[in-house]
Amino acid sequence: MSSEQLPRSKPDRTPNGDAAYDDVRMDEPRIHGFDRILGSTRIVVVLGSAACLLASISLLLAAVLAVFHTIWSQISDGEIGIEAAHHAAVEFIQLTDIVLLGVVLYIISLGLYELFFRSDLPIPHWLRFHNLSELKASLIEVILVLLGVTFLGRAVSWSGGRSILYFGIACAAIIAALSLALLVEHIRNRDSDTPH
């Protein structure tokens, strides 16, 4: 029997030195099938994105309706003066809180959809996110403004006492921590973009 007719022996090892087993090759289609299943589960993120979008829309619409209601109440009651203006200012600041919270939810919804599905949405460039770090940085920036507006609303409606001091210290601590996290993230991104 010639050497060409002899059955080829199965190699015990691959050129890289790793063991080559036929059962691993047989499992490759199964592994690729699991990869497809795992990749398709990202559709679950759509539910979270849609939930955040609906919550954002509901908050923004509620804020718009509340603004009209506040203005109409001021006109119908005929309240004119410093007290009426102060009361309206407090309500409008609180409504600004609601609007900013709606913006936070909208950014989360938009960012999740961009990162997991489509990155070519027809949106401004400053709303485009390429990774979770960029999404996190945008959220921190909006949350910082939200905390500042929240403290402003508490300060405008302050009637005395030391409770505002504790509230201010808590807001300041959170703002400092978020600002530090934002600074660290900025430095990290700058170092990663710098050619070595």
127-172 pLDDT per residue, tens: 888 888 888 888 888 888 888 888 888 887 777 777 788 888 888 9
Q: What local confidence, expressed as pLDDT, does residue 120 receive?
A: 78
Residue 103 or residue 13, greater confidence: 103
Q: Which has the closest alpha carbon to 164: 150, 176, 145?
A: 150
65-90 pLDDT per residue, tens: 999 988 888 878 776 767 777 778 88
Matching residue, tokens 């938009």: 110
Under a CB-based contact definition with an 8 Å cutoff, are residues 143 and 178 in contact? Answer: yes
Q: What local confidence, expressed as pLDDT, does residue 26 receive?
A: 47
Under a CB-based contact definition with an 8 Å cutoff, are residues 139 and 104 in contact? Answer: yes
Tokens of 155: 């300060």
Q: What local confidence, expressed as pLDDT, does residue 24 receive?
A: 44
Under a CB-based contact definition with an 8 Å cutoff, are residues 164 and 154 in contact? Answer: yes
Q: Give me the count of residues in the chain.
A: 196
Helix (H, G, I), strand (E, B) or coil at 139: helix
Q: Kindly indicate the confidence band of residue 14, based on its pLDDT and cuts at 50, 70 and 90.
A: very low
Under a CB-based contact definition with an 8 Å cutoff, are residues 130 and 119 in contact? Answer: yes
Under a CB-based contact definition with an 8 Å cutoff, are residues 38 and 32 in contact? Answer: no
16-62 pLDDT per residue, tens: 454 444 444 445 555 566 677 776 777 788 888 999 999 999 999 99
Q: What local confidence, expressed as pLDDT, does residue 46 receive?
A: 86
Neighbouring CB atoms inside 10 A of 150's CB total 18
Mean pLDDT of the chain: 78
Q: What local confidence, expressed as pLDDT, does residue 166 receive?
A: 86
Residues 6+ apart with CB under 8 A from 53: 105, 106, 109
pLDDT of residue 173 exceeding 50, the answer is yes
> How would you label 99-117 residue by residue, b for 16+ Cβ within 10 Å and e otherwise?
bbbbbbbbbbbbbbbbbee
Q: How far is CA 51 from CA 47, 56, 123, in A?
A: 6, 9, 20
Q: Is 59 exposed, middle or buried (0-12, 13-18, 19+ CB in 10 A)?
A: buried
